[in-house]
Amino acid sequence: MSDVNRNKLGILIVDDTPRNIQVVAGILNREGYSLFFATDGRKALELAGKRTFDLVLMDVMMPGLDGFETCAQLKRMPGYTDVPVIFLTAKTEPGSILKGFEVGGVDYVTKPFHSSELLSRVKAHLGIRALTKELQETNKVLEHRMDIVDRFVMMLSVNREGVITYASRAFCRAVDCDREELVGKNLRDPAHSDGQCRIIEDIYELVLKNGRFDGEIRSRTPNGTEHWFGVNVFYFAEDIKATEYKIIMEDITNRKIVEKQSITDDLTGLYNRRHFSRVFPEEIGRARRDSKILAFAMLDVDHFKLYNDTYGHVKGDEVLVGVAKALETVMKRSGDHCFRLGGEEFGAAYMSNSTENALAMAEKLRQAVEDLRIEHKENEAGPFVTISVGVHLVDFSTAPAFDEDSEAWYRNADKALYSAKHGGRNRVSIYCPEEILDSGGPSAPAELPADFGAFPGRQPTPGYHES
């Protein structure tokens, strides 16, 4: 400890014998400390009320307030909880020493004492005092920073069992959940599917299946409002066995709104072909990583040119908008994507846990448009506006090596769409060759009847069956 620092350290010596004060002061003066004196307990407390000392040397046997009572009152004064008090005493009985510790003393030196012993103990406790103050200041800074994090950073802590151990105020605001609704609950709790807390379902997938993640996820509220979040899932420490995951999130919805303007179809509000080309490769990678079934469906409004010729282009635009909204009512999950690919052609990309569910989703899309019941007199497939659907899907749990780019998926779905139109329209046709699913080998042959299963819609009676 430098002389400059020592000059700033104040030591209070309390003893009713002036000669003892002189001896102690003589030892400490050589070290450059700032020394203060009191000959009884009350004067010591008066001095302590005017400034905070860094250490107190306290005689035990004094008239009036003895050293024990003076120390007890001193410890109750503001700023003195952590100030070390060393007792100077001739009493060496265990009971007397124990009482000194009970009232707040940290050490004792027996009289008569050696100067080296007294000085060593003073230096040791001043060093501890300095470290304590430094730690307290550091804690204040950390508390302030943690408060900033709590208020402005979306953060979750989750243990290995999936139980939420911490949720920042910023996260709770963003997902419209109270902290009490989250902390202590498991990510698998179905209650989280209500409200904006629905995003926790996606976080559950990221944490318990992938362990680590750095990217973006999309979530929807039950009313269909879209939210985007940048998400980073990581272990808090790299050099020890992790017991908790940390999830840092950022609401990037506004940025995505701006981005979406460049990748969105002006008429329908759906994503455009440019966005399909950008996002679909990511979906292929995600499906492969999660061993899911990925489906891409192309949808075409049946006899749309005849509709425009009969009802006019304004009505035709209204049909396209209506179709888009119908598709969005079905595609509400965070990983679902809808596109307007051009003209009367639309696209849908989604994941599924089974082939049956993937095909059922395609049928729901077809049915949603037919349920609009928009009159179309020139439609050979029915009295209303309908769509034909071509689907290409791959089960990456059985074909992890399957490797086709997004344009190949587009072409295969287009072939399936051609088959749906050729088979009578208003139906779902599937491009799903067994050799591709089993081996992850080359593309299917171009012989359409061998590669497709056709799933008609309501023609003329309701039903969904394989032909």
- Tell me which residues are annotated as active site: 344
SS3 311: helix
Separation CA 193–CA 161 (nearest Å): 19
pTM reported for the whole predicted model: 0.47
Separation CA 123–CA 107 (nearest Å): 12
pLDDT given for residue 98 in this prediction: 92
CA dihedral 164, 169, 171, 176 (to 10 degrees): 100
402 Cβ contact list (under 8 Å, min separation 6): 288, 394, 396, 436, 437, 440
Angle, vertex CA 336, rays to CA 331 and CA 341, nearest 5 = 85
Domain 153-253 sits in CATH at 3.30.450.20
- List, for residues 63-113, the tens digit of each pLDDT value: 999 999 999 999 999 999 999 999 998 877 888 889 999 999 999 998 888
Dihedral (CA of 300, 301, 303, 307) sign: negative
Average pLDDT over residues 24-41: 93
* Assigned token pair, 75: 């410890």
Q: Which H helix or E strand runs over 214?
A: strand 213-220
Task: Say if residue 455's pLDDT is above 50.
Answer: no
SS3 110: strand
- List, for residues 248-285, the tens digit of each pLDDT value: 888 888 888 887 788 899 999 999 998 999 899 999 99
Count of all residues that appear for the chain in the document: 467
pLDDT given for residue 224 in this prediction: 67
Task: Select from 3.90.700.10, 3.30.365.10, 1.10.10.10, 3.30.70.270 the CATH code of 263-456.
Answer: 3.30.70.270
- List, for residues 117-169, the tens digit of each pLDDT value: 999 999 999 999 999 889 989 999 999 998 998 999 989 888 877 788 999 99
Strands (E) across 415-462 are located at: 427-431, 452-456
Per-residue confidence at 6, pLDDT binned at 50, 70, 90? low
Domain boundaries, the chain: 3-148, 153-253, 263-456
Any idea which fold 3-148 has?
Rossmann fold (3.40.50)
